[in-house]
Chains A and B, each alone.
Chain A
Amino acid sequence: MTEEIADWTKGAEAIVYQGCKTCGARQYFRRSFCAACGSTELTENRASGAGKVYATSLVCRAATPETRAHVPYNIVLVDTAEGFRMMAHGDNDLAIGDEVNARFTQFAGRLVPYFAKAK
């Protein structure tokens, strides 16, 4: 397996996915093997940040003091240009089908990916 690239879950400004050298599958949740075929021959890749909105939900009721400070915040599922789906934050007015690009922002003390409409 190639060396791990730090991504936003580790505090680095990057969205990372794995590609399988054996079957070509792509996966977003990091594992030491390919969930499609079991191969341990994986590549680590940086995603471009481009994608399309698949679903949205504007959270208006949060459950912790840290997250309540951000209410309302938009949770989005984005289908990335690289072909995997991810959860992130986004502009409150994003609609399904919007073409978006990622940047990063602080949320409840952590770095999170944030999508806005592509210009």
Chain B
Amino acid sequence: MSFVTGVGLTSYGKHGGSSSLDLMSRAAELAIADAGLKRSEIDGVLCGYSTVSPHIMLATVFAEHFGIRPSYAHAVQVGGATGLAMTMLAHHLVDAGIAKHVLIVGGENRLTGQSRDASIQALAQVGHPDYEVTLGPTIPAYYGLVASRYMHEYGVTQEDLAEFAVLMRKHALSHPGAQFHEPITVADVMASKPVAMPLKLLDCCPVSDGGAAFVISREATSERRVRVRGCAQAHTHQHVTAAPALSDLGAEISIAKAKQASGLSISDVCYAAVYDSFTITLAMLLEDLGLAKRGEAAARVRAGYFNQDGEMPLNTHGGLLSYGHCGVGGAMAHLVETHLQMTGRAENRQVRDASIALLHGDGGVLSSHVSMFLERV
């Protein structure tokens, strides 16, 4: 058994003058305090990576900086799925008795610490160095390829995709920590600058500074009892050139395994936190996970299904698309928000019922997937 005992999240956007370690430390402090623990009680540390300050041993760099001496520590790298992959590992670590309180932390000054070109270039390297990167693709282009195919096979339109950007922005408006505070419309998304067609600027998440952290513990540390009910991964490829057919992507495999591990089905879920690096990512994953029928996710957005007061509230903090994306911390914000919702602390964003939540992360180009069910007990 494992519990998410504490969460911490900074605002996303510009944190000029803050290093990756600063942002990680800030989030870590918030999460440890939220769990009601002292730093010295943290005996495990898992952290992600920073493209601004790459290091071969970031977890111990962080532990030294933060002032703790854990008995278990290392970094984890699974792109956008890193946060949930670390959570899954921490779940197993505490369950196996390796550690009592594992601190999971991600943070990066990706916006102010390097140029936007440098970020785009760093991320494009998930492509094959000889057979892809030499052609000058970008991360939006990898996802643009997937989008073109998905739209072709399932009759999804650019206007459909725009709905997801509008929804995430609407949610971000009610979170003071979000990077964006201006409402947008489908027309705004359609008129935004082309990046890698069919994806336009507002179909893409921004580059942000920020940090997020949580503590995974063997026992609950307060009355707020949120436990990991079950989780699973799937890894089908790294490069988009080597990706399987759309019907055989990893999200469907990992959700099937996570349902089995948790004994839950999609009809049990009342809150969803789904990776949304691009509008197409969110559209596809919602359908792969079974939160909408194939080609019908946009119709569900239009019908209010994923609204705060809808049947399946989704990314109520605004997601990567509008809360922001600071690398590993980006998708960790989804779990922080989920925890706040599950423990009735989401303030003006609070949903009716978030007793069982489904989280899903994706790394690479739909390469690595982690599905996870959280449950309030």
Contacts and interface: CB of A to CB of B under 8 A. Distances in A.
Given A9-B131, A28-B131, A77-B240, A87 B149 contact: no
Contacts of B146: 55
Interface stretch (B33-41, B50-58, B73-81, B137-145): B137-145
A50 interface: no
A90 B272 CA distance: 39
B197 A63 contact: no
A66 B121 CA distance: 12
A57 B145 contact: yes
Given A28-B241, A64-B117, A107-B135, A77 B145 contact: yes
A103 interface: no
Contacts of B152: 55, 96-97
B196 A112 contact: no
B138 A63 contact: yes
Of B140, B144, B193, chain A has the most CB atoms within 10 Å of the CB of: B144
A55 B148 contact: yes
B121 A60 contact: no
A107 B149 contact: no
Interface residues of B, number: 34
A33 interface: no
Given A28-B241, A67-B136, A60 B131 contact: no
B117 A86 contact: no
A73 B138 CA distance: 12
B128 interface: yes
A110 B193 CA distance: 28
Contacts, number: 104
A61 B145 contact: no
B135 A87 contact: yes
Interface in A61-91: 61-64, 67, 70, 72-73, 75-77, 85-89
Nearest to B146: A55
A115 B69 CA distance: 56
B148 A96 contact: yes
Nearest to B152: A96
Given A61-B140, A63-B120, A96-B149, 12 more contacts: A28-B241, A29-B241, A55-B145, A56-B197, A57-B140, A57-B145, A59-B138, A59-B140, A61-B138, A61-B195, A70-B136, A110-B134
Q: What 8 A-B pairs come out closest when comparing CB atoms?
A: A57-B144, A63-B120, A67-B136, A60-B194, A58-B197, A55-B145, A55-B149, A9-B130
